[in-house]
Structure 1
Amino acid sequence: MKSGQTNIDPEWAWSAYQPEQPEDWTQRQVAHFYRRCGFAANPEMLQSGLQKSPLQLASEQISNRQESPQVEKVSASLARSVLATADAKNLPAWWTHRLLNTSVPLLEKMTLFWHGHFATGAEKVKDAQLMFDQNQILREHALGNFGSLVHAISQDPAMLIYLDSASNRKVHPNENFAREIMELFVLGEGNYSEKDIRELARCFTGWEIRRDQFYFNRFQHDFDEKIIFNDTGTFTGEQGVDLVLKQPAGAEFIVGKLMQFFIADEGLQHPELIQPLASQFRDSGLETGALLETMLSSNLFYSDYAMGRKIRSPVDFAIGLLNSFEGTTNLLELNRGLDELGQRLFYPPNVKGWEGGRNWINSSTLLARANLMQSLLVRDETRFGGGSLSQYCKTHGVTSLQEAVDWFVEILLAVPLSEPKHSELVQRCEHGSGSFENNLRRGLGLIVSLPEYQLA
């Protein structure tokens, strides 16, 4: 196999997955879909998913862009309480509550993707309302048109503050945003020149923030001629963004990042695999939803190239466990744990966001993951379906520790557990002292500490 090539046939890869027999469409595959396209699924969601085709499952999630009125009402109430404190440090608890209760998991998953892509940190911005407003922008455009999202984020006050572009003067254009919109947001490194950055920065002169709103100060805008990507004109900031968006490299860059986010951390970033979806993305006018429908219902998505080929982010690790069994817990405690694991929502480490993949895992974070789960599972306030874990198990016909281990493993793990490991888990649970409830929680803690649970 030549360097930079893969033996995966692109036509096969992006064709819709169609199980040959009904029994070929399994709970493991539905669970895979919800781990990637949301934050895992409870038993009822898994059973419901089995009644749909892979294409129908993807299409419904992509078309479902309106949060349920009940969730929206509670979320809005919590947001008002958080924003009343004027402390951005309270925002992560608000968002994790939404992640645990959302009726539109793919919309929230894509909001999280864009949060890492257009990384903006509350540590620098500080203003809770501005960070909240940006989160709403990401959600509004999460499954829509990528160009519209880039335009919206380009004039977002939180972004302008984060990239030091809140007061851009024609005598000294700030190049930070011009550089990042090309390198990190749209085109990827190497697909522009330093001259393009300098000229694009001139387009954004006069962009300011007044009373926490975007404001165009025409007296500080450079109206002179500019040359960007060999195009010449007296371009405005909006026209400058359009010039970046029309560059061919952008489609490949975004498709590659989405493949890494949804399909596999490593091994699939090959031009011949990216190109067909990039062409589709360009031809659609950069419509994210249509792109994802192809990607998330494809042969490649449900293949061994994808299943178990991602390392769970801290959010996927913790929220995924709770969502699998309709769990609730102390959100402040949960977010303190996520911070220790390296993923504090609204506080990405830098403008590049979270690197993900293998960077999530080391000896320190593995221990922190086990400790977080242990601390949550021993708390009485951590509930499952509104009650105890033993009650929740019994409502699903699980009445013994042997059955519980089997059930937990089936729902939680993306990769098969070896028979020796499975038997050892059962023995450790059955030989534990304490009540049935405590042994169940202990067993669940052991499972989520396994290397196999770190894979999604």
Structure 2
Amino acid sequence: MPRTLESVDPQWAWKRFEPTNDQPWNRKGAAHLFRRAGFAATPEQLRNAVDSSPESVVQQLVQNRSETPEFIDEITALSAASLATGNPRRLAAWWLHRLLNTPDALREKVVLFWHGHFATGAEKVEDAQLMFAQNELFRTSGLGRFRELVQAVSRDPAMLIYLDSVTNRKAHPNENYAREVMELFCLGEGEYTEEDIRELARCFTGWEIRRDQFRFNKYQHDTGTKTILGEEGIESGEEGVDVVVNQPACPRFLCRKLFRFFVTDAEEPSDDLIQPLADELRANDLEIGPTVQRMLSSNLFFSELAYGRKIRSPIELSVGLLHSLEASTNIYTLEEGLRVLGQELFYPPNVKGWDGGRTWINSSTLLGRANLVRQVLDNEATRFGRGSLTDFCRANSWERGEQFVRGVVETLFAAEPSQSVQRDVATLVDNTSLDEERRRRDALHWLCSLPEFQLG
């Protein structure tokens, strides 16, 4: 088994994982998959997954279309109520509710990925309806063809406002969006020139908004031909996007970002490791779904090079905790806690989105994460299943201290706490001189404040 990404054979890395006696399909692997492909799993989901195969579980996650009519009605009513306020922060609470309750967790995880990739901030857009429309675009198109997604984002009113495309006129081209298409969205640094940016910006002249809808203003469009990345005779914005996404650098850039999001952000993958994924993505006409499925099914994904090798974002930490324990809480309290920790939905810090990785953790945010868990556990609105944490533990045979610790660690943790800590927590749970519900919540808070819990 390789110990670093540098020593990984790409051919081995992207082969489909086949369980063996040395590397079995078990609760550890299933919990890892659900953490990365969604927002963790309940004990029941883990039991069902282990009874199946990794291949079928991944396939179900990627191809899931299981949102029930009841869920759709509920989420539609909540979105309407949030939009009626005109407040994007109310919309953030709606999305948190969706993250916690969706039966299609991978799709929501992909929406979160694109929200960070095509980062758009409500503080500048100042329109909840436009932010909602962009969010829905990521939901309907996030696993489809990247070319079509970039074309749609280029016409998206929220993006047009955020990166100043609405001021892009033939007499005074605005280069902001063209620059980010190349640098942050499609190619990465070093794959284009300043002249390429200027020429692409000319392609987008006249792209504006009227009554909250995209409109092409032919009178403000530069009709001259442009040369972009060596391609001559380009005229329209659509043609400009096609030239950019057709570059060999595009699938490599995308696969590298997907790798950091789904596999590990602890090490940078080499070009040799990424290239097979990029080749497959290009062969699939830049369709994202098959590449995500390949990553989540691979030997590398189910190896020690990926287990616990990613720091949880505040959303992954809090939503994962609640989902694993079938818990619900006051969404507005949760949204406020996430804002304090630096991951407020619809308010990314800048056009680069959230840096992620080690930037999530410092002495202040580590304390803040523990405080958020405490706030959730102490909130009167927090329920576990249909009742208390004690009821949930009884239903899952987590009654005694040792059972409780083992159940929490197997379900919630990517890296196991020390045996001494586990024994101390088990002793707390078994201390009958304390209130049963209180000692379980205190024990859960203790475990979820550990450094190991920050790893996903």
The corresponding residue for 2:146 is 146
Q: Counterparts of 2:266 and 2:68 in 1: how far apart (Å)? A: 35
What is the SS of the residue equivalent to 2:165? coil
Q: TM-score, normalised by structure 1?
A: 0.97
Question: 1:380 is matched by which residue type in structure 2?
Answer: E
- 2:341–2:365: 8 Å Cα contact kept in structure 1? yes
Q: Does the Cα contact within 8 Å between 2:414 and 2:455 map onto a contact in 1?
A: yes
* C-alpha distance in structure 1 between counterparts of 2:11 and 2:55, whole Å: 17
Q: Secondary structure at the match of 2:255?
A: helix
> Partner amino acid for 1:7?
S
Where 1:90 maps in the other structure, the secondary structure is: helix
Closer, same or farther: CA 253–205 of 1 in aligned 2, 3 Å = same
- Number of matched residues? 453
**Would the alpha carbon gap of residues 23 and 282 (structure 1) be closer, same or farther in structure 2, given more than 3 Å must change?**
closer
Instruction: Report the secondary structure of 2:7's partner residue.
Output: coil
Amino acid of the structure 2 residue aligned with 1:257: K
1:103 match: 103
Residue 65 of structure 1, CA deviation: 3.9
Distance 1:276 1:367 in 2: 41
Classify the secondary structure of the residue corresponding to 1:41.
coil
SS in 2 for 1:30: helix
User: What letter matches 1:344 in structure 2?
Assistant: E
Q: Is 2:185 the partner of 1:178?
A: no
- Residue 93 (structure 2) pairs with residue 93 (structure 1): yes
Task: Give the conservation status (yes or no) of the 8 Å contact 1:433–1:439.
Answer: no
Q: Does 1:56 align with 2:81?
A: no
CA contact (8 A) 2:39 2:323 kept: yes
Provide the aligned C-alpha RMSD in A.
1.5
Contact 1:108 1:139 in 2 (8 A): yes
Q: Report deviation, 1:22.
A: 10
Counting only pairs closer than 5 Å after superposition, residues 262-273 of structure 1 correspond to structure 2 as: 262-273=262-273
Instruction: In structure 1, give the amino acid aligned to 2:313.
Output: S
What is the CA distance between 1:428 and its match in structure 2? 3.7
TM-fit CA distance, 1:395? 1.3
SS in 2 for 1:6: helix
Give, as a single letter, the amino acid of the residue that structure 2 aligns with 1:290. P
CA distance, structure 2, for counterparts of residue 168 and residue 395 of structure 1: 60
What pairs up with 1:269-348 in 2 under 5 angstroms?
269-348=269-348
- Could you say which residue in structure 2 is the equivalent of 1:368? 368
In the aligned structure 1, how far is the partner of 2:265 from the partner of 2:219? 47
Question: Quick check: 1:15 aligned with 2:15?
Answer: yes
Q: In the alignment, is residue 119 of structure 1 matched against residue 119 of structure 2?
A: yes
Distance change in 2, residues 1:256/1:234 (3 Å): closer
Which moved further from structure 2: 62-71 or 84-93?
62-71
Please say if residues 401 and 427 of structure 2, whose CA atoms lie closer than 8 Å, have aligned partners that are also in contact: no
Counterpart of 1:35 in structure 2: which amino acid? R
2:443 aligned with 1:455: no
The structure-2 alpha-carbon separation of the partners of 1:5 and 1:42, relative to structure 1 and needing over 3 Å to count, comes to closer
Report the counterpart of residue 405 of structure 2 in structure 1.
405
Partners of 1:65 and 1:107 within 8 A in 2: no
CA contact (8 A) 2:117 2:184 kept: yes
CA distance change for structure 1 residues 274 and 42 in 2, over 3 Å: closer, same or farther?
same
* CA distance, structure 2, for counterparts of residue 441 and residue 252 of structure 1: 45
**Would you say the 8 A contact 1:223–1:234 is kept in 2?**
no
Q: Does structure 1 retain, via aligned residues, the 8 Å contact 2:5–2:305?
A: no
What secondary structure is seen at the aligned counterpart in 2 of 1:222?
A: coil
User: Residue 35 of structure 1 contacts residue 41 of structure 1 at CA under 8 Å; is this kept in 2?
Assistant: yes
Equivalent position amino acid for 2:205 in 1:
T
Structure 1 residue 266, shift from structure 2 partner: 2.4
Q: Which amino acid aligns with 2:335?
A: N
1:372-416: CA deviation from partner (whole Å, max 9, x where unpaired)? 111110122100002111011111222223321221122111112
Q: Is the counterpart of residue 72 in structure 1 residue 72 in structure 2?
A: yes
- Give the match for residue 242 of structure 1: 242
Most deviating of 65-74 and 270-279: 65-74
On the 8 A contact 1:111/1:138 being kept in 2, the answer is yes
Q: Distance in 2 between matches of 1:61 and 1:175?
A: 39
> Quick check: 1:167–1:209 contact (8 Å CA) kept in 2?
no
Matching residue of 1:216: 216
Which whole-Å CA distance do the structure 2 matches of 1:333 and 1:434 have between them? 28
Aligned residue in 1 for 2:426: 426
Task: Give the Å deviation of 1:235.
Answer: 1.3
Once residues 194 and 61 of structure 1 are traced to their aligned partners in structure 2, the CA distance between those partners, rounded to angstroms, is: 41
Distance 1:233 1:413, change over 3 A: same
What's the TM-score, normalizing by structure 2?
0.97
How far has the Cα of 1:66 moved from its partner? 5.2
In 2, Cα distance between the equivalents of 1:182 and 1:234?
16
Tell me how far apart the structure 1 counterparts of residues 434 and 84 of structure 2 sit (CA, whole Å). Answer: 44
SS at match of 1:40: coil
Contact map agreement 2:400 2:429 (CA 8 A) in 1: no
The C-alpha deviation readout for 1:129-186, integer Å capped at 9, x for no partner, is: 0000000001111111111111111100000100011132100111000000000000
Structure 1: 5+ residue runs without aligned partners? Answer: none
1:390 corresponds in structure 2 to 390
Aligned mates of 2:217, 2:448 — CA distance in 1: 54
Alignment partner of 1:443 is 2:451: no
Aligned equivalents of 1:226, 1:399: Cα separation in 2: 69
| Gapped regions of structure 2 (runs ≥ 5) | none
Question: Aligned residue for 2:128?
Answer: 128
Q: Partners of 1:431 and 1:50 in 2: how far apart? A: 33
Structure 1: distance between partners of 2:211 and 2:277: 42
Name which of structure 1's ranges 148-157 and 416-425 shifts more when overlaid on structure 2: 416-425
- Bigger mean CA offset, 363-372 vs 21-30: 21-30
User: What SS is found at the alignment partner of 2:227?
Assistant: strand
Contact preservation (8 Å) 2:401, 2:428: no
What one-letter code is carried by the residue in structure 1 that aligns with 2:179?
R
* Equivalent residue letter for 1:223: T
- Asked if 2 retains the 8 angstrom alpha-carbon contact of 1:19 and 1:25, the reply is yes
Give identity over the alignment, percent. 51
CA contact 1:71–1:98 (8 Å) conserved in 2: no
Aligned partner of 1:233 in structure 2 is: 233
Query: 1:7-48: per-residue Cα shift (whole Å, max 9, x none)?
Result: 100000000000024981110100000000000000111111
Contact 1:27 1:46 in 2 (8 A): yes
Whole-Å Cα distance in 1 between the matches of residues 72 and 284 of structure 2? 31
Post-superposition offset of 1:417: 2.3
Give the conservation status (yes or no) of the 8 Å contact 2:252–2:278.
Answer: yes
Query: Counterparts of 2:317 and 2:214 in 1: how far apart (Å)?
Result: 37
